[in-house]
Amino acid sequence: MRKWIGAVLIIVSLGVVILPVSPATAANVYEISGVAVDVTADTAAAARNKALADGEVSAFRRLLERITLLEDRHRLPSLKGSEIATLVQDFSVADEKTSSVRYLATLSYRFKRRDVRDLLISYNIPFAETPSKLTLVLPVYHAAGIMVLWDDPNPWRKAWAERQVGDGLVPTRLPTGDLTDIAIIGAEQAVKGDPQRLAAVTNRYKAGDALVTYAVAGLSQKTGKPELRVRMTRHGGALDTQTIDRVFRARTGESDSRLLARAAMELSWLLEDSWKQDNLLQFDQQSVIAIDVPIKGLRDWLRVRKQLGTVAVVRGVDMVLLSKTSVRVNLHYIGEVEQLSLALEQADLALLGNGEKWVLNFSGRQGN
């Protein structure tokens, strides 16, 4: 113990910032994978070159949509292929197949975080980089006086299961609906927001939050056409319980299943946007907060330091005091302290305090 304390004290005495901001977040936000390309050209080489160029454009668009708000999609920068190429850090190729004129592959791209940030800032487009922990979706369907969560048929659950999920900042999954799930929580308990049962099913899937999407099917009093009234409530995590209410009315010729599918997709976008709004990076607001980090040894501190390096709003950490049981640090961050707390929670770190004294612990629930 004395050896490592002595080594760290040397660093402290030199006044060195020991934690630069890591270029990668916990979920590699600036990496886009699964870019499928299939190009035919006069030669295999020409097909490959075009495929890689097309892949860059597609991956870059996916990246921008991942970190920006829906309302800003029309303002996203439209760059030439050569301009996008300068933003690519590296790429990898998998499942490559070629013929004399055709090229097929699955590509992954990593983009330069600082350069993409600078680009969006120059366009005055807000963006977020903090990935959420896994969100467990509980789709409750109410029709003809019957409320179902696990029972079949549940067309609302089917709609959520069949969504074309993008690569956003909020990963989601549905529970399997086995006997254990059925024993933990029922439809009415989910809708009422039973905290103990929601926590139990969330912990079972190592998720950070539970999202109850309660859909009531009926007919519009004005038009007589099918409509879906949905209350979407997010429970758990560092945020207070959040609720969104929406009404979806069937369009001309739209079947019940298509109405449900559209509602599930639009609510997924709202979920993403709500998360991004809470985590928009505020570069014009920079602060420093003094924090005590309880430790039992070097391993604890190294683990905390590693986790801090994945948090987008953390700009650096200065160690100022060290003892056998705690480390005092000055943490440099951007945005509000509430935003910092939320971002730390996604990295399994809990910031506790009242504005005068702050303590950073590992969170009780370590998801994803």
**pLDDT tens profile 324-338:** 899 999 999 999 999
Give me the pLDDT at residue 364, please: 59
**pLDDT digits 0-9 by tens, 59-113:** 999 999 999 999 999 999 999 999 999 999 999 999 999 999 999 999 999 999 9
Lowest mean pLDDT of 171-175, 222-226, 345-349, 357-361, name the range: 222-226
Lowest mean pLDDT of 54-58, 154-158, 183-187, 362-366, name the range: 362-366
Give me the pLDDT at residue 216, please: 98
Residue 2 burial (CB count, 10 A): 7
Report CA 344 to chain centroid distance, whole Å.
13
**pLDDT digits 0-9 by tens, 111-169:** 999 999 999 999 999 999 999 999 999 999 999 999 999 999 999 999 999 998 778 99
Rounded CA-CA distance 139/228 in Å is 13
Rounded CA-CA distance 89/43 in Å is 27
Domains present along the chain, CATH in parentheses: 2-25+282-362 (3.30.70), 31-122 (3.10.28), 135-278 (3.40.50)
Q: Does the pLDDT of residue 8 top 60, yes or no?
A: no
Give me the pLDDT at residue 2, please: 41
Lowest mean pLDDT of 6-20, 233-247, 260-274, name the range: 6-20
Q: Is 1 exposed, middle or buried (0-12, 13-18, 19+ CB in 10 A)?
A: exposed
With CA atoms as reference, report the closest residue to 109 among 90, 86, 134.
Answer: 90
Q: Judge whether 157 and 139 are in contact, CB under 8 Å.
A: yes
Signed CA dihedral, 353, 358, 364, 365: sign only: positive
Q: Are strands 226-235 and 242-249 parallel, antiparallel or unpaired?
A: antiparallel
**pLDDT digits 0-9 by tens, 202-214:** 999 999 999 999 9
Q: Does the pLDDT of residue 58 top 70, yes or no?
A: yes
Rounded CA-CA distance 339/176 in Å is 32
Can you tell me the mean pLDDT for 350-358?
Answer: 86
Tokens of 185: 């929580």
Give me the pLDDT at residue 237, please: 67
Q: Is 301 exposed, middle or buried (0-12, 13-18, 19+ CB in 10 A)?
A: buried
Contacts of residue 294, defined as CB under 8 A and 6 or more positions apart, other chains included, come to 300, 325, 326, 359, 361
Q: Does the pLDDT of residue 24 top 80, yes or no?
A: no
Rounded CA-CA distance 46/48 in Å is 5
